[in-house]
Amino acid sequence: MRVFFSPRQLAHAPASEFSRGEMIAFRECPVRAQSILAALAAAGFPAPEQPDDPGLAPVLAIHDGEYVDFLRTAWTRWRAGGATVAAYPTAWPVPGIGERRPDTVEGLLGWYIFDSGTPIVAETWDAVKAGADTAHAGALAVATGARSAFALCRPPGHHAARALAGGYCYLNNAAIAAQALRDQGAGRVAILDVDYHHGNGTQEIFYERGDVLFVSLHADPAFGYPYYTGYGDQSGRGAGEGTTLNLPLAAGTTEAEWLAALDHGLGRLGDFAADAVVVSLGVDTWEGDPLSHFKVSARAFPALGARLAGLGLPTLFVMEGGYATAELGKNVVGVLSGFEDA
């Protein structure tokens, strides 16, 4: 398995996020990637390859140009107004007042970022662009003959929609990778999202497309972030009708129930007859993760990898969530080793 990682991703390190009424230490911290790198090395995986810079074309194939310009310039504009701390939105275009795109950076922060936990600091753009480059490099590796690759992307990406950031996500790495696979000749691509949270951004990007299947196992939005998407009756629209499969799971979901949902999702992948698979790999489903309300043990991760290997398809793993940093690397290696050993 080829591994891709850019150290530039470590520079994005906001100090805090707003959660449940208080400022807390930022959970999506550089230690996450460092934990995974250490575990990969200890398990004997090859040294990470640094991605090439393909420019903005892969990003703009997925994301709106004005949104990308906002991400590139937001920090400079924020600082120009005299601010010295991280940029957070403080107002949002909710129904009733969300009709016109504002001009000021303060207004644009709410226009383009849907929550209060996704700040912008000086290093954000360079880090998220490096993450997109990492996913793109992994896709090219799989497209040119590698059986599998792991793109260690940080920040994660699956909450980022075409013109929207949130949930620690700014650019949708998995979507960028899926499009790169299509551009390299894959007729159909499947995205399997196993993160604890629904990949609302990935769903939005491909909701009306029939060439990319999106299957997601996640906490039921009736109780779990991001709350407003991921319901079972959201199945696609137009040319994409039937190419979205949401499998929302209740709080307290057991390991057996989670694996049964996984098998259901993998069955849909088999029916789709994809040429390649992108796995949005979140391991925040683990029972010890601070954001999880599932009862999924570490044993499930090698089982996930083995089931994915059983598809017999070129497979790209793109890192998403997982916030129990002491165990994060072990759980990621569990998935990748399960795939390799199957």
Q: Is 159 a catalytic residue?
A: yes
Using a pLDDT cut of 90, give the percent of the chain over it.
96
Give the model's pLDDT for residue 221.
97
Give the model's pLDDT for residue 176.
99
Q: How far apart are CA 265 and CA 260, in angstroms?
A: 9
Can you read off the two tokens belonging to residue 117? Answer: 């936990």
Q: What is the mean pLDDT of residues 317-336?
A: 98
Give the model's pLDDT for residue 139.
98
172 pLDDT higher than 90: yes
Residue bearing tokens 């703009």: 60
Q: What is the mean pLDDT of residues 320-333?
A: 98
Give the model's pLDDT for residue 330.
98
Are 71 and 105 in contact by the 8 Å Cβ rule? The answer is no
Give the model's pLDDT for residue 87.
96
98 pLDDT higher than 90: no
Phi, psi of 232 (to 5 degrees): -65, -20
Give the model's pLDDT for residue 20.
87
Can you read off the two tokens belonging to residue 60? Answer: 């703009």
Q: What is the mean pLDDT of residues 34-40?
A: 98
Choice among 63, 136, 158, 159 that is catalytic: 159
176-208 CB burial, b ≥16 within 10 A, e <16: bbbbbbbeeebebbbbbbbbbbbbbbbbbbbbe
Are 14 and 309 in contact by the 8 Å Cβ rule? The answer is no
Region of 27 (left: φ > 0; alpha: ψ -120 to 50; beta: rest) is: alpha
Indicate yes or no: pTM above 0.75. Answer: yes
Confidence of residue 17 (pLDDT cuts 50, 70, 90): very high
Confidence of residue 83 (pLDDT cuts 50, 70, 90): confident
Q: How far apart are CA 302 and CA 328, in angstroms?
A: 14
Q: What is the mean pLDDT of residues 229-235?
A: 98
Confidence of residue 276 (pLDDT cuts 50, 70, 90): very high
Residue bearing tokens 């591994």: 3
Q: How far apart are CA 7 and CA 127, in angstroms?
A: 9
- The per-residue pLDDT of the chain, averaged, comes to 97
Can you read off the two tokens belonging to residue 263? Answer: 């098998």
Among candidate residues 275, 244, 14, the one with its CA nearest the CA of residue 122: 14
Are 247 and 219 in contact by the 8 Å Cβ rule? The answer is no
Query: Residue 150 forms beta bridges with which residues?
Result: 3, 317
321 pLDDT higher than 90: yes
Q: How far apart are CA 127 and CA 146, in angstroms?
A: 26
Residue bearing tokens 């010295």: 84
- At 19, which helix (H) or strand (E)? strand 16-19
Among 74-88, 120-134, 202-216, 253-267, the range scoring the smallest mean pLDDT is 74-88
Q: How far apart are CA 131 and CA 154, in angstroms?
A: 6
81 pLDDT higher than 90: no
**Tens digit of each residue's pLDDT (9 = 90 or more) over 294-304:** 999 999 999 99
Estimate to the nearest angstrom the gap between the alpha carbon of 143 and the chain centroid.
Answer: 20
Are 220 and 246 in contact by the 8 Å Cβ rule? The answer is no
Give the model's pLDDT for residue 228.
96
Q: What is the mean pLDDT of residues 282-303?
A: 98
Q: How far apart are CA 217 and CA 230, in angstroms?
A: 9
Confidence of residue 22 (pLDDT cuts 50, 70, 90): very high
Confidence of residue 318 (pLDDT cuts 50, 70, 90): very high
Report angle CA 100, 104, 106 to the nearest 5 degrees. 100
Can you read off the two tokens belonging to residue 237? Answer: 């629209």
Give the model's pLDDT for residue 78.
96
Residue bearing tokens 């990003």: 59
